[in-house]
Structure 1
């Protein structure tokens, strides 16, 4: 089937006309050639340099240990319940607030651990972590 002919022949032509495809690809190639140098354009600035370091104050850590008999140790010092409550209240007022690391023996009753956690929360300490031993 020829273009512009008025013949009644219905010839089937299975070939794809690639001329429009080549035209589109050439237009895209020209567009990319023009736009890529614009995307890589950068303005060079001479920025000032500062030599300061952030002043990060790490909070103190309090080691609170509970042995198998239910005795509580504040950084290795034996505490009773009244002294523990006052120490927790004093520690809660410090800025930044210290972290409470709770060490409990394997055979410690859970009730004692829960009482110490409750006292820490009531005293105002919000950062608490449990320290465990890894199996050997």
Structure 2
């Protein structure tokens, strides 16, 4: 039990010890720490698989994305080449090399009406491209919350 006999004026009293012995707790925690440090790298390695060796060509690097830009005046550009609005679909089709897996980056001036950007996106969709990304700039001076006017 947690009782100790102490001598007070030549008499023995039974009083509980008020201190908690933390040594066993520290021992257990150190053992658990070591177990987890050893086991963690083994868990991340995954399932052991013996992969086959193959004589194959290295994959070609991906082609750079096609950039479709809409300037402040509403003009369309495909890879820095100006195209008329009705020729956007044709310009996208001729530069594709029959590869519809190529990425498309759409850049538009912030003053351009939304309809012009949608028009460009519609032409990209009609040309058969599915990997489309809108390009924007990160705000300068840290993250600021936008307030509604």
Measured against the shorter chain, the TM-score band is 0.5 to 0.7
Greater share of residues in strand: 2
Using the TM superposition, give the Cα deviation of residue 81 of structure 1 relative to its aligned residue in structure 2, in angstroms.
Answer: 2.0
CA distance in 1, matches of 2:135, 2:111: 15
Using the TM superposition, give the Cα deviation of residue 87 of structure 1 relative to its aligned residue in structure 2, in angstroms.
Answer: 1.7
Q: Does 1:116 align with 2:120?
A: yes
After superposition, the Cα gap between the structure-2 partners of 1:120 and 1:127, relative to the gap in structure 1 and judged at 3 Å, is same
SS at match of 1:78: strand
Alignment match, 2:65: 61
Using the TM superposition, give the Cα deviation of residue 62 of structure 1 relative to its aligned residue in structure 2, in angstroms.
Answer: 0.8
Q: Does 1:131 align with 2:135?
A: yes
Alignment match, 1:82: 86
Using the TM superposition, give the Cα deviation of residue 65 of structure 1 relative to its aligned residue in structure 2, in angstroms.
Answer: 0.8
- The structure with higher relative contact order (CA 8 Å, sep 6+) is 1
The alignment's C-alpha RMSD in Å is 2.5
After TM superposition, the runs of 4+ consecutive aligned structure 1 residues lying more than 4 A away are 47-53
**How far does the alpha carbon of each residue in 1:19-50 deviate from its partner, in whole angstroms, 9 at most, with x for none?**
xxxxxxxxxxxxxxxxxxxxxxxxxxxx9866
SS at match of 1:63: strand
Asked which structure has the greater CA Rg, the reply is 1
Alignment match, 1:70: 74
Structure 1 stretches of 5 or more lacking a match? 1-46
Query: Is residue 100–residue 130 contact of structure 2 (8 Å, CA) maintained in 1?
Result: no
Alignment match, 2:110: 106
Using the TM superposition, give the Cα deviation of residue 76 of structure 1 relative to its aligned residue in structure 2, in angstroms.
Answer: 1.1
After superposition, the Cα gap between the structure-2 partners of 1:49 and 1:114, relative to the gap in structure 1 and judged at 3 Å, is closer
Using the TM superposition, give the Cα deviation of residue 126 of structure 1 relative to its aligned residue in structure 2, in angstroms.
Answer: 1.1
Q: Which moved more, 1:79-88 or 1:113-122?
A: 79-88
Query: Is residue 92–residue 123 contact of structure 1 (8 Å, CA) maintained in 2?
Result: no
